[in-house]
Amino acid sequence: MAKLPDKKYLPRHVGIIMDGNGRWAKKRGLIRTEGHKQGAKVFRTISDYACKIGLDCVTFYAFSTENWKRPVDEIDTLMEIFQEYLIVAEDSKEKNEKKGYCLRFIGDTGAIPQELVNLMEVTEQDITPRTKTVVNIAINYGGRQEILKSVNEIAQQVAIGLIDPNNITQEDFEKGLYTAGLPDPDLIIRPSGECRLSNFLTWQSAYSELWFSDIPWPEFTTDDFDTALLEYAKRNRSFGAV
């Protein structure tokens, strides 16, 4: 494990696109779903590590609004993996709260099987003053869908006179995002060789630093996470200023 700099040089919020599970499995002569199972283990390792080192927030891109286009058997396996995780998370809820680990879900639950939605509701935790790290799992999430959600909510408020359409602010818009109340991601990590955001945190990532790697997610380690954090600490973030 690398020696990390003082927390003030680390990102407050890290977004992670968990990519490359299927390709990792195919390279080993395995079916794609085996890659997802291994990727789920890595997710647990990295989320625990994020809490251990005291990051304020980490958001994992688990299932996008576009992932419904995948084969049915693969989707079914992904939902089964998610269900297994939720059952374990429910049993560990009190333990996680003591560690300051707050689990939340972001995305449109409308297409998620009701059984899973029920588990999500009992597993999700409220942010409290004791919260050390917020772990967001983005499921059936899409950045464009999230933006439309906020726009629709503002339109409804305008229609009933709660908001003046001439005075809509960024703050008004951000209240309708799934990440409302959380800092924007300072750093977004995408392993497995792809160099795009793929509809992830579209609004929130306007000034995010990006870190790409050829390492497939099932092989991603805490050392790789440290490497990304150290690279982030070296960057100069001017936000448009000199």
Task: Supply the pLDDT for residue 221.
Answer: 98
pTM for the full model? 0.95
Please identify which of the residues 19, 56, 184, 224 carries the catalytic annotation.
19
Q: Give every CB contact of residue 100 below 8 A, 6+ residues apart in sequence.
A: 51, 130, 131, 132, 133
Q: Does the annotation mark 76 as catalytic?
A: no
Task: Supply the pLDDT for residue 1.
Answer: 59
Task: Encode pLDDT of 80-90 as tens digits.
Answer: 999 999 999 98
Mean pLDDT, residues 152-161 taken together: 97
Share of the chain above pLDDT 70, in %: 98
Task: Encode pLDDT of 84-122 as tens digits.
Answer: 999 999 888 888 888 888 999 999 999 999 999 999 999
Q: Does the annotation mark 48 as catalytic?
A: no
- Domain 8-142+184-231: give its CATH architecture: 3-Layer(aba) Sandwich (3.40)
Please identify which of the residues 48, 67, 108, 172 carries the catalytic annotation.
67
Contacts of the segment 50-54: beta carbons below 8 A, 24+ positions apart? 50/14, 50/133, 50/135, 50/225, 51/99, 51/100, 51/101, 51/132, 51/133, 51/135, 53/4, 53/10, 54/7, 54/132, 54/133
52 CB-side CA count, 13 A: 11
